[in-house]
Amino acid sequence: VQFSRSGFMHLAPETRNTIYGMVFDSPLPFFIVASDGVTPGFRLRERSTQSQYEALQSLQALGVVNREMRRETRTFFYAVKHFLILPYGYEYLSIFVSWLAAIGSECRAVLRNVCFAGYMWYQGSAALTQQFHDLLRSCTRLRILTVQIHVWHLCEGRVADVDSFLNFEGPEPHDGSMPEVDISTWADTSVQLPGLRTFRLDIV
């Protein structure tokens, strides 16, 4: 698709959005993984569809036309697409934070559907957890949010107690009570997202 720098931005916004919808057409979720290299980055996973690769190529090409088109195409893309963030061999919390920071504040503000798949290991970091919540709270138009986290993530102050419970050795049944988990921060985050319709918190 080729755009005239002089004429395209004079089209009605509805017309431009219709064209963007055709350019970025891909009904499947965009599976995002971290890319290797000196500079941290993100890419599509290997089994993505050809239409998804073409959509990202178009997004990058349109982004170099001018600042106005870069802003408009990126915010449209992140507003209408569904993203699934995969840690793929990395500690999941740092990947979640890095991706949210990488897309920028304008794209976070229009993001509507995202899943953070935290099935890899968790390395405790209260500061990083708070940063994750702060970035999520800036996704003010979020409609559907799915987060998969380790149970230890909800017990950052009681990791030793949880570890002792999960590795119990003794007569069955296990009569001790599991240490309490703290979901108050997640509750606070969810209420600060006024458009949120579906929030799923999976413990893995």
H, E, C per residue of 81-126: CEEEEECCCCCHHHHHHHHHHHHHHHHHCCCCEEEECCCCCCCCCH
Q: Is the pTM of this model over 0.75?
A: yes
Instruction: Name the strand (E) or helix (H) holding 34.
Output: strand 30-35
Q: pLDDT value at position 97? A: 94
Summarised one tens digit per residue, pLDDT across range 80-126 is: 999 999 988 788 998 999 999 999 999 999 999 999 998 767 777 88
At 12, the pLDDT band (50, 70, 90 cuts) reads confident
CB neighbour list of residue 96: distance below 8 Å, 6 or more residues apart:
85, 87, 116, 118, 132
Q: What are phi and psi of 145, to 5 degrees?
A: -130, 125
Domain range summary for the chain, segments of one domain joined by +: 8-203
* Region 12-38 average pLDDT: 85
User: Closest Cα partner for 85 from 120, 114, 65, 125?
Assistant: 114
- The answer to whether residues 144 and 198 touch, using CB atoms and an 8 Å cutoff, is yes
- The answer to whether residues 161 and 155 touch, using CB atoms and an 8 Å cutoff, is yes
- The answer to whether residues 139 and 109 touch, using CB atoms and an 8 Å cutoff, is yes
Of 134 and 10, the one with more pLDDT: 134
- The answer to whether residues 82 and 93 touch, using CB atoms and an 8 Å cutoff, is no
User: Closest Cα partner for 138 from 92, 189, 95?
Assistant: 189
Cβ neighbours, 10 Å, residue 91: 15
Supply the DSSP symbol for 23. H
* Region 150-163 average pLDDT: 75
